[in-house]
């Protein structure tokens, strides 16, 4: 009944072959994206010199920007983050911190540190949000606004921030992230070049291991913890390869929630961030694309291949598991809500390339990968697959992943060179190798679990723990 020549055996063989083709296809696609990413990075000439930055600081020509940072139980890192945001170099920007009903001392700390007073600031936007309990501004000459509201989640906080914005552009920032001092100018550049730009994002880097002084990364180092090193490699792969290429092909679906910039008018037109999804960053970008295509308005979502933001990644398996689970649920929700765009030429390259890529490779990727492993083991046990073939399958799929990770690290060294020491480069290359021996498979399991949770109707973010940044000395 189960032999290789039976119907079951032949079906098994066909499915196994399909999985191998899938593995080859997904890895080749990553390779294509990485090659495109490499040539894009080579050509990227948006680097503004520091002297020119000084010149631009006095300009009244550039549009003002609001920086919105939701904060929930962030007392460990909020002081550094707000300082970092206030220090951003841009002719006109205001920092809006939204305290999302924190249960710890986030608000008290902000009140004391920045000498806040209760302000009469009026919201100009009308996106509905949880009740705002109070609005505060600093007694010092700082462009800082703190909104204290009832807990409603990140998307709700961002919407509250958007309501209080006074400038045409706003940046949505995680309050546990550190922003490079000239990041606003760099990430705003596509808006200055082209009026049709509606959203931009930049490279997010792993801050674990780096030295932080006064809210700024002063020394770039590879993370110390193995789990953080794996994520550093993952971030390189995602940002230097995938997003650069998708931006070039006008089909970017995701602007990182850690730091993204948006045209306020368009975000208000589409009703702000969706509070009912855990993937509000991706959902908003997809909705903005859809809105603009439906209204037949030309638009661009651009990825700026420059490091703009540093974020603390989880160093505990439990927290990382929750994060990946949430990311997968977020992607699933966003894609399901806008399924109308799937392979729909009405939505241009987004519908024909960006969206299908997410469905086939980001969403179904973990399912197929785990299915491949399971079938190989099952095939071995049932005698449907020869032992050498099974070993070959495992080796090939591991090597593919490994090679792509190595290429990402090389891409970093060839282009941006943020890690100055050779030791750090060796650490990252080592992590690129080890990442494929267990970590990759583990994330596939978490992502699959995320899909299952989504189908079972699970909601919520789960608890995140912060360790705080490593101070100088």
Partner 1 sequence: MKVNKESSALQPRALKDHRSDILIESALVLSTLALAVWLAERRLPAWSSNTALNAAVSTTVVLIVSILLLGTVMFVLKVRGERLLRREEQLKPAVIELLTTIAQGEADEIQEPAEELARLHRRAPRAVDELLSESLALQKGEGNRRLAAAAQVSGIASTWRRLVRSRSAELRCHAITYLGRLPSGAADEELRAGLEDAEELVAAEAARALINSGRMEDIQKVFDELPRQSTLVRALMSDWLRRHSAALAAGAISRALESDDPARIVPALDLLVNWKRMLPVPGVGPLLRSENGAIQARAFRALPYAMGAAASREDFEAGLQSEDKEVLCAVLSVTARMGMTSLAPRVANLVLDADLNIATAAAYALANAGLTGELERIIIGGAPKAAGIATEALEKYRIGRLLR
Tokens linked to 265: 């008018």
Among 319, 371, 380, 403, binds partner 1 (CB under 8 A): 403
Site for partner 1 in 356-385 (CB under 8 A): none
For CA atoms 384, 386, 387, 392, give the dihedral sign. negative
If the CB atoms of residues 120 and 295 are measured against partner 1, the closer one turns out to be 120
Segment lying near partner 1 (by CB under 8 A), choices 55-63, 66-74, 297-305, 436-444: 55-63
Min dist CB 308 to partner 1, Å, is 16
Q: Which residues have a Cβ under 8 Å from the Cβ of 59 and sit 6 or more positions away?
A: 91
- The answer to whether residue 394 forms part of the interface with partner 1 (CB under 8 A) is no
Segment lying near partner 1 (by CB under 8 A), choices 347-355, 357-365, 400-408, 463-471: 400-408
**Best CA proximity match to 429, nearest among 447, 452, 411, 443:** 411
Segment lying near partner 1 (by CB under 8 A), choices 100-108, 119-127, 151-159, 433-441: 119-127
- How far apart are alpha carbons 157 and 127 in whole angstroms? 11
Q: Please name the residue that has the structure tokens 């973990």.
A: 366
Let me know: does 75 contact 46? Beta carbons within 8 Å: no
Among 121, 130, 337, 466, binds partner 1 (CB under 8 A): 121
If the CB atoms of residues 319 and 396 are measured against partner 1, the closer one turns out to be 396
Among 9, 12, 30, 40, binds partner 1 (CB under 8 A): 40
**Best CA proximity match to 310, nearest among 215, 224, 233:** 215
DSSP secondary structure of 250-293? T------TTEEEEEHHHHHHTTSS-TT-S-HHHHHHHHHHHHHH
If the CB atoms of residues 124 and 455 are measured against partner 1, the closer one turns out to be 124
- How far apart are alpha carbons 334 and 193 in whole angstroms? 29
Min dist CB 122 to partner 1, Å, is 4
Segment lying near partner 1 (by CB under 8 A), choices 48-56, 200-208, 287-295, 304-312: 48-56
Among 15, 56, 225, 238, binds partner 1 (CB under 8 A): 56
How do strand 144-149 and strand 93-100 relate by DSSP bridges? parallel
Min dist CB 164 to partner 1, Å, is 11
- How far apart are alpha carbons 284 and 278 in whole angstroms? 11
Q: How many CB atoms lie within 10 A of CB 421?
A: 12
Q: Which residues have a Cβ under 8 Å from the Cβ of 173 and sit 6 or more positions away?
A: 67, 68, 69, 85, 179, 258, 259, 309
Among 3, 6, 10, 59, binds partner 1 (CB under 8 A): 59
- The answer to whether residue 332 forms part of the interface with partner 1 (CB under 8 A) is no
| Interface mask toward partner 1 for 210-249; x: CB under 8 A | --------------------------------------x-
Let me know: does 372 contact 397? Beta carbons within 8 Å: yes
Q: Please name the residue that has the structure tokens 């010092």.
A: 140
Site for partner 1 in 409-438 (CB under 8 A): 410, 413-414
Site for partner 1 in 335-354 (CB under 8 A): none
How do strand 300-311 and strand 65-71 relate by DSSP bridges? unpaired
Among 5, 7, 50, 120, binds partner 1 (CB under 8 A): 120
Among 407, 416, 428, 444, binds partner 1 (CB under 8 A): 407
Q: Which residues of 357-394 are buried (b: 16+ CB within 10 A; e: fewer)?
A: bbbebbbebbebbebbeebbeebeeeebbeeeebeebe
Size of interface with partner 1, in residues (CB under 8 A): 52
Question: First-to-last CA distance in the chain?
Answer: 68
If the CB atoms of residues 319 and 380 are measured against partner 1, the closer one turns out to be 380
Min dist CB 345 to partner 1, Å, is 20
Min dist CB 384 to partner 1, Å, is 12
- The answer to whether residue 16 forms part of the interface with partner 1 (CB under 8 A) is yes
Tokens linked to 450: 């995320």
Min dist CB 62 to partner 1, Å, is 6
State how far the alpha carbon of 126 is from the alpha carbons of 70, 96, 428, 453, in Å.
18, 17, 46, 33
- The answer to whether residue 295 forms part of the interface with partner 1 (CB under 8 A) is no
Site for partner 1 in 162-191 (CB under 8 A): 166, 189
- The answer to whether residue 62 forms part of the interface with partner 1 (CB under 8 A) is yes
Let me know: does 144 contact 138? Beta carbons within 8 Å: yes
Min dist CB 191 to partner 1, Å, is 8
Interface residues with partner 1 (CB under 8 A) are 13, 16-17, 20-21, 23-24, 27-28, 31-32, 35-36, 39-40, 43, 45, 48, 52, 55-56, 58-62, 119-122, 124, 141, 166, 189, 192-194, 248, 386, 388-389, 392-393, 396, 399-400, 403, 406-407, 410, 413-414
């Amino acid at each position: 009944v189960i032999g290789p020549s039976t119907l079951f055996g032949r079906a098994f063989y066909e499915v196994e072959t399909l999985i191998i083709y899938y593995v080859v296809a997904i890895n080749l696609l990553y390779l294509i994206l990485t090659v495109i990413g490499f040539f894009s990075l080579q050509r990227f000439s948006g680097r503004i010199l520091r002297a020119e930055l000084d010149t631009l600081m006095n300009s009244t020509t550039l549009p003002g920007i609001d920086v919105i940072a939701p904060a929930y139980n962030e007392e460990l890192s909020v002081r550094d983050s707000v300082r970092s945001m206030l220090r951003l170099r841009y002719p006109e920007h205001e920092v809006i911190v939204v305290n999302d009903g924190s249960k710890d001392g986030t608000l008290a700390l902000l009140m004391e540190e920045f000498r806040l007073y209760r302000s009469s600031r009026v919201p100009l936007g009308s996106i509905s949000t949880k009740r705002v309990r109070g609005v505060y501004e600093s007694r010092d000459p700082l462009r800082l606004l703190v909104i204290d509201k009832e807990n409603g989640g990140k998307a709700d906080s961002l919407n509250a921030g958007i309501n209080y914005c006074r400038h045409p552009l706003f940046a949505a920032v995680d309050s546990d992230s550190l922003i490079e001092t000239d990041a606003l100018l760099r990430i705003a550049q596509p808006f200055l070049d082209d009026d049709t730009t509606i959203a931009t994002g930049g490279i997010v880097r792993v801050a674990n291991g780096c030295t932080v002084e006064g809210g700024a990364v002063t020394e770039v180092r590879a993370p110390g913890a193995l789990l953080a090193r794996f994520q550093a490699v993952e971030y390189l792969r995602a940002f230097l390869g995938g997003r650069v290429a998708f931006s070039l092909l006008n089909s970017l679906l995701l602007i990182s929630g850690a730091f993204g910039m948006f045209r306020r008018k368009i975000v208000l037109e589409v009703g702000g961030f969706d509070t009912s999804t855990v993937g509000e960053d991706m959902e908003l970008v997809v909705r903005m694309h859809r809105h603009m295509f439906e209204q037949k308005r030309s638009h661009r979502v651009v990825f700026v291949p420059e490091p703009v933001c540093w974020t603390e990644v989880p160093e505990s398996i439990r927290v990382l598991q929750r994060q990946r689970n949430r990311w997968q649920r977020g992607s699933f929700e966003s894609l399901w809500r806008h399924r109308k765009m799937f392979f729909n030429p009405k939505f241009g390259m987004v519908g024909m390339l960006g969206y299908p890529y997410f469905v086939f490779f980001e969403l179904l990727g973990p399912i197929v990968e785990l299915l491949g492993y399971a079938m190989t083991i099952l095939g071995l046990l049932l005698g449907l697959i020869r032992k050498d073939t099974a070993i070959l399958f495992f080796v090939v799929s591991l090597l593919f992943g490994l090679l792509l990770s190595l290429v990402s690290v090389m891409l970093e060294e060839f282009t941006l060179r943020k890690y100055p020491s050779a030791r750090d480069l060796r650490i990252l290359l080592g992590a690129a190798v080890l990442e494929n021996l267990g970590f990759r498979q583990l994330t596939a399991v978490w992502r699959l679990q995320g899909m299952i949770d989504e189908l079972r109707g699970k909601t919520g973010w789960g608890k995140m723990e912060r360790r705080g940044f490593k101070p100088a000395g």
